[in-house]
Amino acid sequence: MSKVLVRRVILVVLAIGAAMLALGVVVRFAGASAAPAPTGPTVTYTLQGRVYQGDTATEPPISEPLEGVVMSLYCSNNHGEQGVFLRSTSTDAQGWYGLEVYDTDVCEFFNIVETDPDGYFSAGATTVDGNVID
């Protein structure tokens, strides 16, 4: 009879251990929650373009890309006013720049301003979809 008792004790201990393990897993899963939604601004679109050394509206190979030109983005609610500075970037080796616009940038007008590098001056600008204001 003692052999039967030992088996029952072992089975009860195993059952209790399995139940505790299962309870621990359930508690862990219940305590876990989905990752919090990201907070802060999200990019809604990017204003991008190129800066060249050469004639206005002339692309390579006739014009040369210009690297290191600072391009700044401003936010304005009044036509003709530069507005409030948002952010800036520099052109890469191919003359490309990209200025991200976030969902928190609430403006009626976005203005991109080029800072001429030493020894250079702006001769003009073009746009695919927008207005150029000198």
List the chain pLDDT tens, one digit each, 134 residues. Answer: 444 434 443 344 444 444 444 444 444 444 445 556 667 789 889 999 999 898 877 777 788 999 999 999 999 999 989 999 999 999 999 999 999 999 999 999 999 999 999 998 888 777 777 777 76
In this structure, the answer to whether residues 50 and 83 fall within a common structural domain is: yes
- Please tell me the predicted confidence (pLDDT) of residue 36: 63
Residue 38, in any domain of the structure: no
**Residue 30 tokens, joined:** 């219940």
Pair 120, 129: CB distance under 8 Å = no
Residue 107, in any domain of the structure: yes
Tokens 């004639």, located at residue: 55
Pair 98, 46: CB distance under 8 Å = yes
Residue 26, in any domain of the structure: yes
96 is in which domain, residue-wise? 43-115
The pTM is what?
0.65
In this structure, the answer to whether residues 29 and 84 fall within a common structural domain is: no
- Please tell me the predicted confidence (pLDDT) of residue 134: 66
In this structure, the answer to whether residues 54 and 100 fall within a common structural domain is: yes
What's the structural domain count of the chain?
2
In this structure, the answer to whether residues 62 and 111 fall within a common structural domain is: yes
**C-alpha to C-alpha distance for 85 and 28, rounded to whole angstroms:** 48
**C-alpha to C-alpha distance for 86 and 105, rounded to whole angstroms:** 8
> Would you give the DSSP letter of residue 90?
E
**Residue 101 tokens, joined:** 């616009």
* Contacts of residue 88, Cβ cutoff 8 Å, sequence gap at least 6: 70, 71, 72, 73, 99
Q: For residue 68, give the nearest of 88, 87, 47 by alpha carbon.
A: 88
